[in-house]
Amino acid sequence: MRVSRLMLVTLRDDPAEAEIPSHKLLLRAGYIRRMGPGLYAYLPLMWRVLQKVSKVVREEMDATGALETLLPQLHPAELWQRSGRWAGYTAGEGIMFHLQDRQGRSLGLGPTHEEVVTELAGDLLRSYRQLPVNLYQIQTKFRDEIRPRFGLMRGREFIMKDAYSFHADEECLRQSYAEMDRAYRRIFARCGLRTVAVEADSGAIGGSASQEFMVTAEAGEDLILASGDGRYAANQERAISLAAEAVALPQGRWPAGLGEALATPGQSSIDGLCKAHGFDSSQILKVLLLLARFEDGHQQPLLVSLRGDQQLNDVKLANAVSARCSAAHGALLEIAPLSAEASSKEGLGPIPFGYLGPQLEDGLLDGARTWARTFLRLADSSATGLEAFVCGANRIDTHLVGAAWGSLCPSPEGLDLRAAQPGDRCQHDPSQRLEASRGIEVGHIFQLGRKYSEALGARFTNGTGAEEALWMGCYGIGVSRLAQAAVEQLHDGKGICWPPSIAPYEVIVVVANGAEASQRELGELLYSQLQASGVEVLLDDRDERAGVKFKDADLIGIPWRVVVGRAAAAGLVELVERCSGHQQELAATALMETLLPSLERGRQGLAP
Q: CATH number of the domain at 331, please.
A: 3.90.960.10
Is there a single domain that holds both residue 177 and residue 310? no
* 62 occurs within a structural domain: yes
Domain that holds residue 521: 505-603
- Residues 284 and 273: their CA atoms lie apart, in Å, by 9
* 15 occurs within a structural domain: yes
Is there a single domain that holds both residue 8 and residue 154? yes
Specify burial of residue 82 (Cβ count, 10 A radius: 0-12, 13-18, 19+): middle
- Residue 204, pLDDT above cutoff 80: no
Q: Please name the amino acid found at residue 446.
A: F
* 84 occurs within a structural domain: no
Is there a single domain that holds both residue 273 and residue 331? yes
User: What kind and span of H or E run contains 564?
Assistant: strand 560-564
Is there a single domain that holds both residue 282 and residue 389? yes
Is there a single domain that holds both residue 37 and residue 182? yes
Which tens digits make up the pLDDT trace of 140-198? 999 999 889 999 999 999 999 999 999 999 999 999 999 999 999 999 999 999 999 99
Is there a single domain that holds both residue 286 and residue 408? yes
Which tens digits make up the pLDDT trace of 438-471? 999 999 999 999 999 999 999 999 999 999 999 9
Is there a single domain that holds both residue 160 and residue 222? yes
* 251 occurs within a structural domain: no
Is there a single domain that holds both residue 517 and residue 472? no
Which residues have C-beta within 8 Å of that of residue 229, sequence separation ≥ 6?
429, 432
Is there a single domain that holds both residue 553 and residue 589? yes
Average pLDDT over every residue of 82-109: 91
* 123 occurs within a structural domain: yes
- pTM comes to 0.87
The number of distinct structural domains making up the chain is 3
What is the CATH number for 157?
A: 3.30.930.10
Is there a single domain that holds both residue 371 and residue 460? no
* 117 occurs within a structural domain: yes
* 102 occurs within a structural domain: no
* 335 occurs within a structural domain: yes
Q: Do you find a cis peptide bond into 500, omega within 30 degrees of 0?
A: no
Is there a single domain that holds both residue 351 and residue 467? no
Average pLDDT over every residue of 383-391: 95
Is there a single domain that holds both residue 211 and residue 263? no
Q: Give phi and psi for 367, each to the nearest 5.
A: -90, 10
- Residue 347, pLDDT above cutoff 90: no
- Residues 370 and 300: their CA atoms lie apart, in Å, by 9
